[in-house]
Amino acid sequence: MADQPKAPVGYNDTPFIPGSKYRVHDSDRPQPAIVTPGEHGSPPSDAVVLFDGTSLAAWQSVKGGAAGWKVENGYMEVVPKSGDIRTEQEFGDCQLHVEWAAPADVKGDSQGRGNSGVFMMGRYEIQVLDCYDNPTYADGTAAAIYGEFPPLVNACRKPGEWQVYDIIWTAPRFNGAQLAAPAYLTMLFNGVLVHNHQALIGPTSHRRVVPWEAHPPVGPLRLQDHNNPMRFRNIWYRALTAE
Ligand code: MG
């Protein structure tokens, strides 16, 4: 039987794509790398795993020394007053996955209920808060860029249930001491878009607006101890720039 004619896998007689060294449908353009996706939120094959549920080996206290949070049953839990923790690993542009849960036993209200935070590069807080039937200021809602932008919607699950942050982060760029480009955040909260390429105003503070301050192109992931026994699991990232 005669071979079927093969479909073309590219062209070399097409115009160049503006701004690119490749032609439209160029057969010489490198193939995208193959990545095996994870099942049900587990890390894809090229992820850097920061917490797999067994150990805080990748973490340390922001105050110095070992991370003071506890690990049990596949999650880490804030030990109130032990302080924020941070990764030893530092990174910039990334896709970051974090899961968290607030205590099922609801205590406190507003910013006092189920508060923690995911600090990108150690400086820029994505708020973690039990926002299920818990009014608070909008820019302090769960998934808010704290003090800057509320999430587009409140997609918070009930306390005790696992919540998922999927973050696409573009680090700010600096020219010496000057800001060249702000940080940008795109984010899904429990699969729902809550920020769409949102430019940040500056680093996080409380009751203040703080100007940009130049810092290295990479920084740690930091998690906040806000005196509530918040839980985290399944933390991983994929670097989006080679630096
Ligand atoms: Mg917080």
40-78 residue pLDDT tens: 879 999 999 999 999 999 999 999 999 999 999 999 999
- Two tokens, residue 206: 């409380």
Q: Residue 58 Cα, ligand 1 centroid: separation in angstroms?
A: 21
SS3 track for the chain: CCCCCCCCCCECCCCECCCCCCECCECCCCCCCCCCCCCCCCCCCCCEEEECCCCCCCEEECCCCECCCEEECCEEECCCCCCCEEEEEEECCEEEEEEEECCCCCCCCHHHCCCEEEEECCCEEEEECCCCCCCCCHHHCCCCECCCECCCCCCCCCCCCCEEEEEEEECCEEECCEEEECCEEEEEECCEEEEEEEECCCCCCCCCCCCCCCCCCCEEEEECCCCCCCEEEEEEEEECCCC
Predicted confidence (pLDDT) at residue 243 exceeds the cutoff of 60: no
Give the Cα separation of 85 and 76 in Å (integer).
11
**Closest C-alpha to 237, from 80, 50, 112:** 50
The pLDDT value recorded for residue 200 is 98
Q: Residue 61 Cα, ligand 1 centroid: separation in angstroms?
A: 17
Q: Residue 101 Cα, ligand 1 centroid: separation in angstroms?
A: 13
Q: Residue 92 Cα, ligand 1 centroid: separation in angstroms?
A: 21
> What are the extents of the domains in the chain?
1-31, 48-239
**102-151 pLDDT tens trace:** 999 999 999 999 999 999 999 999 999 999 999 999 999 999 999 999 99
The pLDDT value recorded for residue 8 is 84
The CATH homologous superfamily to which domain 48-239 belongs is Exo-inulinase; domain 1 (2.60.120.560)
Q: Are 55 and 127 in contact (CB under 8 A)?
A: no
Q: Residue 120 Cα, ligand 1 centroid: separation in angstroms?
A: 12
Give the Cα separation of 136 and 145 in Å (integer).
14
Q: Residue 44 Cα, ligand 1 centroid: separation in angstroms?
A: 28
Q: What is the pTM of this model?
A: 0.93
Q: Residue 32 Cα, ligand 1 centroid: separation in angstroms?
A: 37
Q: Residue 6 Cα, ligand 1 centroid: separation in angstroms?
A: 57
**183-220 pLDDT tens trace:** 999 999 999 999 999 999 999 999 999 999 999 999 99
- Give the distance from CA 71 to its chain's centroid: 21
Q: Residue 13 Cα, ligand 1 centroid: separation in angstroms?
A: 55
Q: Residue 151 Cα, ligand 1 centroid: separation in angstroms?
A: 14
Q: Residue 144 Cα, ligand 1 centroid: separation in angstroms?
A: 10
pLDDT band, very low/low/confident/very high, at 6 (cuts 50, 70, 90): confident
Q: Residue 128 Cα, ligand 1 centroid: separation in angstroms?
A: 6
Q: Residue 202 Cα, ligand 1 centroid: separation in angstroms?
A: 16
Q: Are 181 and 125 in contact (CB under 8 A)?
A: no
Q: Residue 42 Cα, ligand 1 centroid: separation in angstroms?
A: 25
Amino acid making up residue 65: G
Q: Residue 130 Cα, ligand 1 centroid: separation in angstroms?
A: 10
Average pLDDT over residues 29-48: 90
